[in-house]
Amino acid sequence: MAIRINNLVIGIDENLEKLKGKAAKRLGISKGDIKKFRILKRSIDARRKNSIRFNYTVEVLSPAEEKLKLESTDNDVKIQENTTKEKIIPGKEKMNSRPIIVGMGPAGMFAGLVLAKNGYRPLVIERGEKIEDRTKTVEQFWDTGKLNLESNVQFGEGGAGTFSDGKLTTRIKDKRCNFVLDTFLKYGAPEEIAYDGKPHIGTDNLKIVVKNIRNRIVELGGKILFNSKLQDLIIENRELKSLIVNGDEIPCSNLILAIGHSSRDTYEMLFKRKVFMEPKAFAVGVRVEHLQHMIDVRQYGKFAGHPKLGHADYRLTYRDRNGRGVYSFCMCPGGKVVAAASEEGELVTNGMSYYSRNLDNANSAVVVTVGGDDFQGNSPLKGMEFQRHYEKLAYKLGGGGYTAPVQLIRDFLKEEVSTKLGKVKPTYRPGYEFRDLKVCLPPEVVGGLQEGFTNFEKKIKGYAKGDGIITGIETRTSAPVRIPRRDNLESISVRGLYPCGEGAGYAGGIISAAVDGMKAAENIIEKYKPF
């Protein structure tokens, strides 16, 4: 009988045997009566800086059932129900052609894996390079400013998340999340992602995992074409018939569209082909850098640097006088700010961390929500054009060559151009220049950031008044469009088209995108026979 125990607390310097003892005591048995002991979740409780603790959820198996004291009033002790994995039952319709997936980010990757495991031999089309080649191309861009329009931080195997922190946190409650985590573990992710309250893989480990999943899809009969760009859809009577890829026509009656949030030329093609889309709110702002040591001290007090804690992160939120949300996003402890452009003459930033998170700076996006009323025109792509406009301003402000504009936070608040750095050195490559960042940001975002930074200073001393640096700009927080779907996840306007993941406006991170890709694949499986 499996028993789940929540809220077991141990001090920072106590070992896990202490935890096991507390679990036994809670159940009224001895440690020797515990046959199996497994940590399900671990989080840090740092609300009291002088008494930082770990909070655990554990699973216990014990043959000594007669000894167990399971009080019904103890809400932290639950009998685990035996759950059996639901098998997907294939449909009976015959496929005219193998299912195709466009995009090898988390949504496309897990859609491909699910289809391949069930005998559907998917064809995956990815405009960018495989991860080994993509990494070299991206490094060249960061060193020289030479941008590859088809393979970059946004496009290529693994998706945009490959050059990030590899965060695996999600707010969705879906049983498929466990499958995603288990898959990552199976193909090379660190063990602690299974139980850590804020799991991350790191960009270095994520590249290994991505490659291993790719190889598994191929082993199961799938095929992956890199450097292969979707150029057009052939649609007849609102039904998908084929694709144009690199100038060639490929028969296709079932397409999982997992393009990510930055495939603007694909959005334009979909609009031209009358695929129904609608504008969606997102957020715009800057990348913020502080010394990681400062963040550690502010969050952990005297325990800063403790080997069990690692580097601290933060999550900050504020609502400005106009009701706009201002918040930190994609916080990367011990990481760096990276150039993340995907179009010529447009500048955008992102954050990245390796698994060790051992670099000098902490970075995070700090962004302000923008929506329909902020965008000009009536096109469903007006949010995308809004992004483009300000990315072009940032590129021009930086002086070209993807050099980024930077400013000390305290100078941004005083509306003064910075003239020298303090202790925090910008990590952005290929270079930076001191500029007035309000020139490349929407006025409503400038106001929100100024209010937000002032508020964040009250929460983390030194956040705004210290040597913190902002780098412009961050615009790719989520897709600027949503592609509406039916209950079976098909596009409402084209039969056989399954938009999914971040690019379709239905996900916000690695886990949720992977889950959405799986759901799209399952809908195809439930309708058709294996191909």
Confidence (pLDDT) at 74: 80
| Least trusted range by pLDDT, from 67-71, 129-133, 146-150 | 67-71
Q: How confident is the model at residue 291 (pLDDT cuts 50, 70, 90)?
A: very high
Confidence (pLDDT) at 16: 83
Q: CATH topology for 2-79?
A: Alpha-Beta Plaits (3.30.70)
* pLDDT over 90, % of the chain: 89
**What 3-state DSSP class applies to 395?**
helix
**What 3-state DSSP class applies to 506?**
coil
Tokens 């006088």 belong to residue: 321
Q: How confident is the model at residue 17 (pLDDT cuts 50, 70, 90)?
A: confident
**What would the CATH number be for the domain defined by 100-277+483-527?**
3.50.50.60
Overall average pLDDT of the 362-378 stretch? 96
Residue 71 has pLDDT above 80, yes or no: no
Confidence (pLDDT) at 499: 98
Tokens 């990367």 belong to residue: 332
Residue 84 has pLDDT above 70, yes or no: no
User: Can you spell out the DSSP letters for 301-351?
Assistant: GGGTT-TTT-S-----EEE-TTS-EEEEEEEEEEEEEEE---STT---EEE
E strands along 419-503, which residues?
432-434, 469-474, 481-482, 497-499
Confidence (pLDDT) at 1: 65
**What 3-state DSSP class applies to 147?**
coil
Q: How confident is the model at residue 80 (pLDDT cuts 50, 70, 90)?
A: confident
**Those residues with Cβ within 8 angstroms of residue 441's Cβ, 6 or more apart along the chain or in another chain:** 284, 285, 286, 390, 449, 472, 473
pLDDT digits (tens, 9 = 90+) for 382-393: 999 999 999 999
* pLDDT over 70, % of the chain: 97
**Those residues with Cβ within 8 angstroms of residue 506's Cβ, 6 or more apart along the chain or in another chain:** 482, 485, 499, 500, 512, 516
Q: How many angstroms separate the CA atoms of 437 and 360, rounded?
A: 24
- Is the pTM higher than 0.75? The answer reads yes
Domains 2-79 and 100-277+483-527 share a fold: no
Residue 70 is classified by DSSP as -
Overall average pLDDT of the 343-359 stretch? 96
Q: What is the mean pLDDT of the chain?
A: 95
Could you check whether the bond before residue 473 is cis, i.e. omega within 30 degrees of 0? yes
Dihedral angle over CA of 11, 15, 20, 23, nearest 10: 0
Confidence (pLDDT) at 68: 72
Confidence (pLDDT) at 85: 65
Angle, in degrees to the nearest 10, between helices 106-117 and 203-219 = 30
Cβ neighbours, 10 Å, residue 69: 11
Confidence (pLDDT) at 259: 98
Domain boundaries, the chain: 2-79, 100-277+483-527, 281-474
Give me the sign of the Cα torsion angle 484, 486, 491, 492: negative
CA atoms within 13 Å, Cβ hemisphere of 230: 29
Q: How many angstroms separate the CA atoms of 89 and 98, rounded?
A: 18
pLDDT digits (tens, 9 = 90+) for 310-338: 999 999 999 999 999 999 999 999 999 99
pLDDT digits (tens, 9 = 90+) for 479-514: 999 999 999 999 999 999 999 999 999 999 999 999
- Contact of 170 with 179, CB cutoff 8 Å: no
Overall average pLDDT of the 165-186 stretch? 92
Residue 92 has pLDDT above 80, yes or no: yes
For residue 300, give Cα distances in angstroms to 50, 51, 315, 334, 353.
8, 9, 14, 15, 20
**What 3-state DSSP class applies to 63?**
coil
Q: How many angstroms separate the CA atoms of 251 and 233, rounded?
A: 10
